[in-house]
Amino acid sequence: MLITSKWGKCLRPLMVIDTIMPGVLAMGQGAWVEIDEETGIDMAGSMNVLCGPKLTPTGYQSYNSTIVRVDKWDGEPLQPDYLWEAREVFEEE
């Protein structure tokens, strides 16, 4: 599904389950940001591209209060995260 906020767009597989209230999206973090240069869509599903610089009134990131739109994705199917090449950050000694 294509998930859009006023700050960005990302793709994630979604499913409807009875333990999530209608109108609410529970989203796992996804992989590192992977912006498609042609579309501007984050192909890795990073929540950060949806939240932007917005903070809650208490000064925390707005992960739990960002309003998004969810649309059916008609583009290339999203490859499952476990098939992506691993990216590791380490210092050489």
pLDDT per residue over 33-90, tens digit each? 889 999 999 998 888 888 878 777 887 777 777 888 999 999 988 888 788 887 777 7
Model pLDDT, residue 93: 67
Radius of gyration of the chain (CA): 15
Interior/surface letters 39-69, b for 16+ CB within 10 angstroms, e for the rest: eebbbbbbbbbbbeeeeeeeeeebeeebebe
Strand-strand pairing, 41-42 and 9-11:
parallel
Q: Which domain holds residue 24?
A: 1-93
Interior/surface letters 6-25, b for 16+ CB within 10 angstroms, e for the rest: eebbbbbebeeeeeeeeeee
Q: Is the pLDDT of residue 30 over 70?
A: no
Specify the number of domains making up the chain: 1
